[in-house]
Amino acid sequence: MGRKTQGELLKHVLLERLMHYYYFLGERPGEDSPETVSSGQIAKFLNMDDTLVRKDLAALGVRGHPRIGFKTHEVLAAIRNVLGFEKTNKAIVVGAGRLGGALAAYSGFSKCSLFIVAAFDSDPQKQGSVLAGTVVQPMENLEAVIQRHNVRLAILTVPADPAQEIADRLVRAGIRAIWNFAPKALVVPSGVVVRHEHIVAGLAELAYHLKNIAEQET
């Protein structure tokens, strides 16, 4: 896959902001009026510009109410509609190690209408074990399970070496979206989207900020 265009990057950033709004509104502890929210409250909690929040909510078609702000349920419903959470999405986990197990067990996926229907691993010692309530299956069953359950999303948590080969199998079997935690950039045909999670990139950002803080304190 080539580099993302500016439009794609802007869309990516917007989608991430919408997810931040979604989780903030769904998990607001200690709020006196959880039925309503102001753009200022969202902006303050997420350390954002109030104007940008209002612009995003306007793009969703959500209208504010004088002296009240935005109705929380209207904002949540609009985000769910835009992000496709109104429809249940089935997913599989390929790679039943610690990371795969943690992702399979993550209860927050249900809030996004995402449900893990199967897990796979090439290690015979892991096959037959239970991963967050799901029995780990051999890789030989991969294509059959994808087609039987009409799965379109795969979570890939395998080492770098087999990642591309497995991705090719997933695409041929009908997978149209891959959440890639493997330390390898995947090449997929057009019509298939890949989200690469580079854990070390997050570490680099934290290290950068720690460096700047240390320099300011000296």
* Neighbouring C-beta atoms of residue 78, cutoff 10 Å: 19
Backbone φ and ψ of 35, nearest 5°: -75, -20
One domain for residues 123 and 165: yes
One domain for residues 45 and 119: no
Residue type, 122: S
**Distance (Å, whole) CA 165 – CA 179:** 15
Q: What integer pLDDT is reported at residue 1 of this predicted model?
A: 44
Q: Looking at the 3D structure of the chain, how many domains does it have?
A: 2
One domain for residues 164 and 79: no
96-to-46, 92, 118, 145, 173 alpha-carbon distances in Å: 34, 11, 10, 16, 20
Q: Is residue 94 part of a domain?
A: yes
Q: Is residue 196 part of a domain?
A: yes
Express each pLDDT in 117-145 by its tens digit.
999 999 999 999 998 889 999 999 999 99
Q: What is the pTM of this model?
A: 0.78
Q: Is residue 161 part of a domain?
A: yes
For residue 107, the domain's CATH number is 3.40.50.720
**Distance (Å, whole) CA 60 – CA 159:** 39
One domain for residues 105 and 185: yes
One domain for residues 98 and 32: no
- DSSP, residue by residue, 112-168: GTEEEEEEE-S-TTTTT-EETTEEEE-GGGHHHHHHHHT--EEEE---HHHHHHHHH
- Name every residue whose Cβ is closer than 8 Å to that of residue 43 and which is 6 or more positions away in sequence: 49, 50, 52, 53
74-to-25, 36, 41, 121 alpha-carbon distances in Å: 11, 9, 16, 41
Dig out the tokens for 155 from the structure: 């979570």
Q: Is residue 100 part of a domain?
A: yes
Domain-ending residue, one of 51, 83, 115:
83
**Distance (Å, whole) CA 68 – CA 202:** 37
Q: What integer pLDDT is reported at residue 6 of this predicted model?
A: 47
Dig out the tokens for 157 from the structure: 């948590």
Domain span holding position 96:
89-201
The dihedral formed by the CA atoms of 153, 160, 129 and 119, expressed in degrees to the nearest 10 = 10
Q: What is the mean pLDDT of the chain?
A: 89
For residue 35, the domain's CATH number is 1.10.10.10
Q: What integer pLDDT is reported at residue 33 of this predicted model?
A: 54
Domain-ending residue, one of 19, 51, 83:
83
Express each pLDDT in 64-120 by its tens digit.
888 889 999 999 999 999 888 888 899 999 999 999 999 999 988 988 899 999 999
Residue type, 20: H
- Please tell me whether residue 177 adopts helix, strand or coil conformation: strand
